[in-house]
Amino acid sequence: MPNPLSFKIAHSLSLISVSMCLLAFNISANIDKTLVESTLLINLQEFPRSKIDKSNQNNRRLSNGASTSIQDAVDSNQTALSEITPLTISLQNTFSTFNDENLLEALEYAISYLALNKTNFNLTDSDILSGIKSSIIAYLKTSEANNENLESAVSKLPEIVYSSLIPARVKSWNGNVPVWSKDISRILMETINESELAADSALLQKTLAKNSVSTLLKILSESSDKANGFTNRISNVDISRSVPNEEMLFGGTPNFMKFDPEKTKFLEFAAKGLSDALFINNQSTFSKESIQSASKLIGSGTMEGAIEFISTLEGDNSLFAYEVTKALSTGLSLSAVYNTSNKEENRDLSLPESAAESISQEIAFSVISSSLDQGYGLELNRLAESVSFGAAMGAQLASVLDKSWDYEEGWELYSRNALAKATAKGSANGSINAASKYIENDPNIDDTNTKTTRREILDVASGSALGSLIGNTGLAVYYPTIMQPIINKSAQGATSGGITADNLSMVDKPKGVTEEFEIEIARALAHGAAHGALFQIVGLKKDAMPDKRTYDFETISAAEAVSYGSTYGAITGGIKSGEDGLIIKQAIYQGTSEGATVGASLALGYDESVADLVDLKSSIAVKAAIKKTNDEAAIKANSTMAVKTIQTSSQDMLLLMRKFNINPLYTNPTRIFSNPNAVEEEPLPFKDKFPVASPI
């Protein structure tokens, strides 16, 4: 009786003879292809050919496009795909026969051969991925044995691997490009550790992340094929945001045009795959330090790859740059938070919060720094808004992901309030630190695309808080939970994270300016936070009608929450930085009042040129609520800080009072604990208007 395996191999060879002739046009004849073919054919019996049955579940909350994205994100958190060890060993032996110049070509041929014959060999998706993984590991081990530059070798991998499959091969299999981009990204990143190389793995992983993103953008730009989840081409979108662009999936109602998430979904999924490889495979050694290290390399790598590639495109692609960085941020944050939340011991150690803050901070810092390093000329406040929005969305989604199909109001895997605060804090701190690092303090030197001004840093602060509040508040509407704490904690995180940014010390005080720059930062953060919160509440909640009611409960509740959180966060953070609590309180009140007016007005459809001047029916009640909670939060923040920092005896306090002639019946030096019967308005610290920019 003939050997079944021999029969299968012979049968397969007969089926692929024609297709291999076609493949030869794309692969040069510098290598002995039969060696690679034989190695793969001999090891066909090692492929598991196992099929994963994904159950179909009903979706009651999402559109078809969104539901695919969510379900695939859930299904993606599986154990790592293993390499096929016998195949790895065989390919390593085969690759060792090629010289350095032909080694990469041999890898490309092996991957192309497997992809071309997926159906002929009856291989599952998992088989293809495992085969590619074995091929890459064999390539890396051979490169190291040949004393090649491993950083250079790794940098070439993404273009070889992605281009062999996306979009043409995936389309021929009726596959989903976002899912494949996630899976390919994950196995690419996993090969670095699994190859057990002697080189610095962190450097290689960052190189891989950077080149993966730039390669996928290159494929999007140059491909002539469309596929499921992949709309090819990159063209300029009018910066006015008022002109539809069908090729870029940009459109919608006037004043609210945006990109369809489908355009960048495959990038979001790729970012998740890259991040999953770092976080899933290191769960046994999680610590705050390891999370920070992983966040730094994956955050910087992906953002640098995106900004550097988009900066090479012709024309103004700024709106697409903001959309890309938002999508990448969502994928990274979703992965980091979910993979640190799914074990009870990690939740007990608050590691999800560490992950949320670390990944948000690194993304924000890297995207601002990369834009300035490239001299690209992007609006930094828009970049800050985009990535803070994406990071907030990803973290919030991670906490409801396990029940996203049949969500129960209030359910969460990890505290959504804590995650909201963490992402807002990290985003504000990272973006302000980056922008401050590039400050040009000399007013006589013209502003350039590689430097920042005080105005730009303030706009970055506002943009970061705006994005965080829009993201966190929006998800709280979409996946309902108690709204006020989400807004409160988001605002608290943004102001405390922003006002404590270390690099603010690099910004000099101009002549004639009395206030410290941190006070201006506090106002900017409060403005952005209130703008974002009120924009979402008025725009998304049907019961919010501040233009029709003198006391609109939804709007006022949001204003109270954002005022309290902004004030408390800024004062507790500012006092640690040595700032005057009273001045911070006044700056927060001014910023919150201004931002609330702008956010509500824009949500109601007013043009941004008049958004800060609109007088709504609820305006008086909103400002009164802001003032009340501003006072309450200031008292709470100062008393909290006092308990922590002032530990003196009553005898010492009496001596101080006698020395400075302080009578508690008549003296109130700070004025924070003011006379409740006093009616005079505290003077606002800033006379200038804060610039208005409608959310992306």
DSSP calls for 373-416:
HHT----HHHHHHHHHHHHHHHHHHHHHGGGSSSPPTT--SS-H
pLDDT one-digit tens code per residue, 456-508: 999 999 999 999 999 999 999 999 999 999 999 999 999 999 999 999 999 99
Is there a single domain that holds both residue 301 and residue 180?
no
Is there a single domain that holds both residue 395 and residue 532?
yes
Report if residue 249 sits inside a domain: no
Instruction: Say if residues 560 and 630 touch (Cβ distance below 8 Å).
Output: no
Instruction: Say if residues 467 and 427 touch (Cβ distance below 8 Å).
Output: yes
Residue numbers of the domain that contains 137: 4-49+61-77+99-191
Domain count, the chain: 2
* pTM confidence score: 0.88
pLDDT for the residue numbered 18 = 37
Query: How far is the CA of 621 from the CAs of 129, 217, 554, 654, 667, in angstroms?
Result: 60, 49, 12, 42, 32
**Which residue among 162, 191, 220 closes a domain?**
191
Is there a single domain that holds both residue 168 and residue 271?
no
Binning pLDDT at 50, 70 and 90, where does residue 80 land? low
Q: Output the CA angle 325-330-331, nearest 5 degrees.
A: 100
pLDDT for the residue numbered 643 = 42
Structure-token match 């309902």, residue found: 480
pLDDT for the residue numbered 431 = 99
Q: 23 versus 409: which is more confidently predicted?
A: 409
Q: Is the pLDDT of residue 397 over 50?
A: yes
Give 680's contacts (C-beta < 8 A, 6+ positions apart). Answer: none
Q: Is the pLDDT of residue 172 over 70?
A: yes
Report if residue 251 sits inside a domain: no
Is there a single domain that holds both residue 459 and residue 322?
yes
Q: Is 200 exposed, middle or buried (0-12, 13-18, 19+ CB in 10 A)?
A: exposed
pLDDT, average across residues 103-131: 97
Binning pLDDT at 50, 70 and 90, where does residue 79 land? low
Token digits of residue 537? 């509440």
Is there a single domain that holds both residue 151 and residue 296?
no
Neighbours of 662 (CB within 10 A): 14
- What are 251's strand-pairing partners? 258
What is the average pLDDT value for the chain, to the nearest integer? 89
Please give the span between the terminal C-alpha atoms of the chain, in angstroms, as a whole number. Answer: 69
pLDDT for the residue numbered 105 = 96
pLDDT for the residue numbered 30 = 66
pLDDT for the residue numbered 649 = 61
Is there a single domain that holds both residue 508 and residue 590?
yes
pLDDT for the residue numbered 63 = 42
Binning pLDDT at 50, 70 and 90, where does residue 81 land? confident
Least confident of 200-209, 277-286, 423-432: 277-286
The closest of 391, 387, 385 to 366, measured between CA atoms, is 387
Report if residue 201 sits inside a domain: no
Token digits of residue 291? 């999370």
Q: Is the pLDDT of residue 213 over 60?
A: yes
Q: According to DSSP H, which parts of 166-287 are helical?
A: 168-172, 177-194, 201-222, 265-280
**Which residue among 643, 670, 691 closes a domain?**
643
pLDDT for the residue numbered 73 = 52
Give 154's contacts (C-beta < 8 A, 6+ positions apart). Answer: 140, 192, 204, 207, 208, 211
pLDDT for the residue numbered 95 = 97
Is there a single domain that holds both residue 282 and residue 391?
yes
Report if residue 185 sits inside a domain: yes
Q: CA 467 to CA 430: how far, in whole Å? A: 14
Neighbours of 411 (CB within 10 A): 15
pLDDT for the residue numbered 660 = 65
Report if residue 492 sits inside a domain: yes
Report if residue 574 sits inside a domain: yes
Q: Is the pLDDT of residue 618 over 70?
A: yes
Q: Is 645 exposed, middle or buried (0-12, 13-18, 19+ CB in 10 A)?
A: exposed
